[in-house]
Structure 1
Amino acid sequence: MISVDLSRLITAQDRAAEAEADRRDAERIQARAFLARTDWYVTRLTETGTPVPPDVSAEREAARRVLDQSAG
């Protein structure tokens, strides 16, 4: 008789949850990377008063929301 260890079975729900967690992790990594790449705009604003382009500001805000959601 073949012995099957049922404690090691991975259900479709487990796989879906893992895939969702991986997706959220990737989204957080992308958000952090985008903020890091565009921090110079904020430094420039602080030092020279040159505004951050509206599209960059909007994307930075969206990236911060992604990171805020993961904190809660």
Structure 2
Amino acid sequence: MAKAAAEGKKPCCLISELLAPFSDALPHMLNARKELLLAVRAIIDKKIELLEKAAAKKGSGPARQVEVK
């Protein structure tokens, strides 16, 4: 993208045009996005785990244990 701008070429699309000034930072931005998504996933997984534990204590939901007599 930066090459195209330096050579005087028009960007191929609006997104390329918008990202052209940030082309050097783009890999860092994509890496930060991946790390953010991983952090959000970890939070969601932890919340699911806590909900399953709470459901097991209450005796409801898919995590409950049934005793057969």
Taking structure 1 as the reference length, the TM-score comes to: 0.48
Report the Cα distance in structure 1 between the residues aligned to 2:41 and 2:57, rounded to whole angstroms. 24
Unaligned runs of 5+ in 1: 45-72
**SS in structure 2 of the partner of residue 2 of structure 1:** coil
Unaligned runs of 5+ in 2: 1-7, 12-16, 60-69
- AA aligned opposite 1:32: K
**SS in structure 1 of the partner of residue 10 of structure 2:** coil
Report the Cα distance in structure 1 between the residues aligned to 2:55 and 2:40, rounded to whole angstroms. 24
Q: CA RMSD in A?
A: 2.2
Pairwise CA distance, 1:42: 4.9
Residue 34, structure 1, aligned to residue 41, structure 2: no
For these two proteins, the number of residue pairs brought into alignment is: 44
Runs of 4+ in 1 over 3 A off after TM superposition: 7-10, 40-44
Higher helix share: 1
- 1:5-63 deviation per Cα after TM superposition (whole angstroms, max 9, x unaligned): 1157471100110000000000000000000000145557xxxxxxxxxxxxxxxxxxx
* Largest Rg, 1 or 2: 2
Identity value in percent: 9
Report the Cα distance in structure 2 between the residues aligned to 1:7 and 1:29, rounded to whole angstroms. 34
